[in-house]
C-alpha cells in the first residue's frame, strides 16, 4: 500500500477499493476505513487499544463530510465537528474529560466566524491582568 500526497491510496499500483483495517501490536483493531478508487468514503471508525471507540468520521470522495464525533476512553464526548466537502461548517464543540465544554466555535465555508474585536465566536476574550 502506498498513500500519495494527494490522499489517494494505491495497492499494487492501482487505486484501492475496499476496507482497510489497521491493528495495534496486540491485534486489536485501531481503525476501519472504507476506500473507493483510492479515496476515503463512507464512515471510518477509530478505536483505543482497549477497544473503546475513539472517533467516528464520515467521508465523501476523500474529503471530510458530515458529522465527526470523538470520545474519551471513558466514553464521554470529546469533540463534535461538522464538515461539507472537506471544509469546516456549522458548530464545532470540544469537551474536557470532566464533561465541561472546552470550546464552541462556528464555521462557515471552512473559516471561523469572528466577532468585531477579533475574538472567535464562542470564545471569551483573553483576560488582561494588571499588577
The predicted pLDDT at position 125 comes to 55
Among residues 54, 60, 50, which one has the least CA distance to residue 86?
60
Work out the pLDDT band at 128, boundaries 50, 70, 90. low
- pLDDT, averaged across the chain: 88
Single pTM value for the model: 0.80
Domain 2-112 has CATH 1.10.287: no
- Going from N- to C-terminal start, the domains of the chain cover 2-112
Lowest mean pLDDT across 47-51, 65-69, 83-87, 90-94:
90-94
CA distance 110 to 38: 24
Per-residue buried b or exposed e for 3-20, using 16+ beta carbons within 10 Å of the residue's own CB: eeeeebbeeeeeebeeee
CB 60 within 8 A of CB 37: no
Amino acid at each position: 500500500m502506498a498513500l500519495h500526497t494527494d490522499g489517494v491510496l494505491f495497492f499494487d499500483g492501482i487505486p484501492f477499493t475496499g476496507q482497510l483495517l489497521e491493528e495495534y501490536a496486540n491485534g486489536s483493531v485501531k481503525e476501519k476505513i472504507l476506500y473507493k478508487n483510492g479515496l476515503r468514503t463512507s464512515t471510518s471508525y477509530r478505536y483505543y487499544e482497549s477497544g473503546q471507540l475513539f472517533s467516528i468520521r464520515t467521508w465523501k470522495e476523500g474529503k471530510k463530510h458530515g458529522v465527526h464525533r470523538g470520545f474519551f476512553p471513558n466514553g464521554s464526548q470529546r469533540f463534535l465537528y461538522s464538515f461539507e466537502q472537506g471544509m469546516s461548517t456549522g458548530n464545532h464543540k470540544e469537551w474536557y474529560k470532566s464533561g465541561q465544554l472546552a470550546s464552541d466555535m462556528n464555521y462557515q465555508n471552512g473559516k471561523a466566524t469572528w466577532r468585531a474585536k477579533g475574538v472567535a465566536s464562542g470564545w471569551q476574550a483573553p483576560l488582561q491582568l494588571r499588577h
